[in-house]
Structure 1
Amino acid sequence: MSEQVPVLQARGLVKRYGKVTAIDGADFDLLPGEILAVVGDNGAGKSSLIKALSGAVVPDDGEIMVDGEPVRFSGPLDARRHGIETVYQDLALAPAQDIATNVFLGRERRRSGPLGSVFRLLDAKGMRAEAARILGELDIKIKSMTQAVETLSGGQRQGIAVARAAAFGSRVVIMDEPTAALGVAESAKVLDLIQRIRDRGLPVVLISHNMPHVFEIADRVHVHRLGRRVGVVSPRERTMNEVVGLITGALTLSDDGELVEVYR
């Protein structure tokens, strides 16, 4: 059986801000069709790593690869062109606009013929129909595509942002703390949505501090500490306490994959 080529990969990424090193030779591997959780303490460099992978930050050194081919992102649009979509904590939604408008935000479709090319009129009916189809495929229940986003619950808003990413992300969807501001019931719906995206064949990177959520849906867990990857473990083979030990530095992984206690 041949080894899988990572969909998204990084080797030796470095990013400095003056005297502060946010990414310190970090590696990263996302395999096809998996949910990869990225965990680490505050200040571990998770956000900087994800920003580099999504084009929001240009690394000072190192290499990023998509499907095994080296790429260089000068901005988020470059990452999008390679099929990488990111859902940040602020969701980047327009609250006063309707659902269909938010799904196509920045990618609006114009009507065919002179009405679109000359008068630049938008295809509102077509976008509403396509938005309804996308949300229906992901089992996101919304009454009307003309409903303003500001009238939705927190979980529904998260669902709209995730649906937009899933609609336009052809290779990877990255989610930054998608359940951070949600209650138990809405968090469960978002976790189910993430699994549905994975089941459609689209790999997901999940950045989260919520260890029970990570262990519920992640296929693998990337542990980040002091600006670099310190290990990748399976939630089926390791406990939450062991992962926390890697996060805090109380434990380390040996070359043969065994956990070793660090004596201070």
Structure 2
Amino acid sequence: MTPILQARGIVKRYGHVTAIDGADFDLEAGEVLAVVGDNGAGKSSLINVLSGAVLPDAGEVLLAGSPVHFKSPHDARLAGIETVYQDLAVAPAMDIASNLYLGREIRRPGWRGKVLRQLDIRAMRQRAQKQLDELGITTLQSITQSVENLSGGQRQSVAVARAAAFGSKVVIMDEPTAALGVRESAQVLELIGTIRDRGIPVVLISHNMPHVFQIADRIHIHRLGKRAAVVSPREHTMNDVVAIMTGATELAA
């Protein structure tokens, strides 16, 4: 089957520094693909290209086998690719429902919505609650809670729920368990598995090897600006992955 999201020969330079040097990428349907690599390996730049945040200097990105040319994250979102960034990009003073529909607010029907631009708060809260229920998120007391009153793990759940609600093709997560405790990290990993089980493939960027081996179906190892290998956590150990990351071992990409 054709991979859902692909990259071929991606190159990105920042002045005299080559961040991505002919990188390839393949995300299969219904999988969690972890992307790992040392700092400076170029994995963040690659993900920024796939999510529309960075324009490549060369190469192409394909979505379901068709070339796409994202000029901004908005273009990627319109194509069904949602990204959960490490800083979450939530509005602390707004409630959970408003954050789920941030930038996609539902207007009231009729002239109130078209002319006065009034928001349909009730509809957003009902749909937001349904989305949380479908994902099995039970740690939030009320859909009307302000995000600033939530814990780090709860905020991450809101960001993940927003991505799952609108990411019809792909969900990309950048270090989703960073700075979380053991219990909250487990909840986020469970959410990632739920999204995969709903048929939406997930790209997981993480430095946490135990988490990678717990949830990933395949591991994309990035080194020196390109894909060094793709391995299975069922057939390789953490030591194998680290050896490839550092260049101590080489495998065919």
Both proteins in one fold, TM over 0.5: yes
Could you say if the C-alpha distance between residues 180 and 121 of structure 1 is closer, same or farther in structure 2, counting changes exceeding 3 Å?
Answer: same
Are 1:68 and 2:65 matched, yes or no?
Answer: yes
Count of residues paired in the alignment: 252
Q: Please provide the CA RMSD for this pair.
A: 0.7
Gaps of 5+ in 1: 256-264
Q: d(CA) in 2 for partners of 1:51 and 1:211?
A: 22
Q: How far is 1:144 from its partner?
A: 1.1
TM-score, structure 2 as length reference: 0.99
Q: Deviations over 1:40-67 (max 9, x none)?
A: 0000001100000000000000010000
Q: d(CA) in 2 for partners of 1:22 and 1:233?
A: 23
The structure 1 residue matched to 2:131, chosen from 124, 131, 134, is: 134
Q: d(CA) in 1 for partners of 2:239 and 2:149?
A: 40
Q: How far is 1:145 from its partner?
A: 1.1
Alignment match, 1:56: 53
Gaps of 5+ in 2: none
The structure 2 residue matched to 1:228, chosen from 226, 229, 232, is: 226
Alignment match, 1:242: 240
Amino acid at match of 1:31: E
Q: d(CA) in 1 for partners of 2:240 and 2:92?
A: 41
Q: Equivalent residues in 2 for 1:201-220 (5 A)?
A: 201-220=199-218
Q: Equivalent residues in 2 for 1:101-250 (5 A)?
A: 101-141=98-138, 142-250=140-248
Q: d(CA) in 2 for partners of 1:238 and 1:155?
A: 30
Amino acid at match of 2:150: L
Tell me, what secondary structure is at the counterpart of 2:250? strand
Amino acid at match of 2:79: H
The structure 2 residue matched to 1:98, chosen from 95, 99, 123, is: 95
Q: d(CA) in 1 for partners of 2:237 and 2:19?
A: 28
TM-score, structure 1 as length reference: 0.95
Identity %: 70
Moved beyond 4 Å, runs of 4+? none
Tell me, what secondary structure is at the counterpart of 1:159? helix
Q: d(CA) in 1 for partners of 2:25 and 2:219?
A: 11
Q: Deviations over 1:63-121 (max 9, x none)?
A: 10000001100111111111000000000000011000000001111000001001110
Q: d(CA) in 1 for partners of 2:168 and 2:191?
A: 17
Q: How far is 1:36 from its partner?
A: 0.1
Q: How far is 1:254 from its partner?
A: 4.2
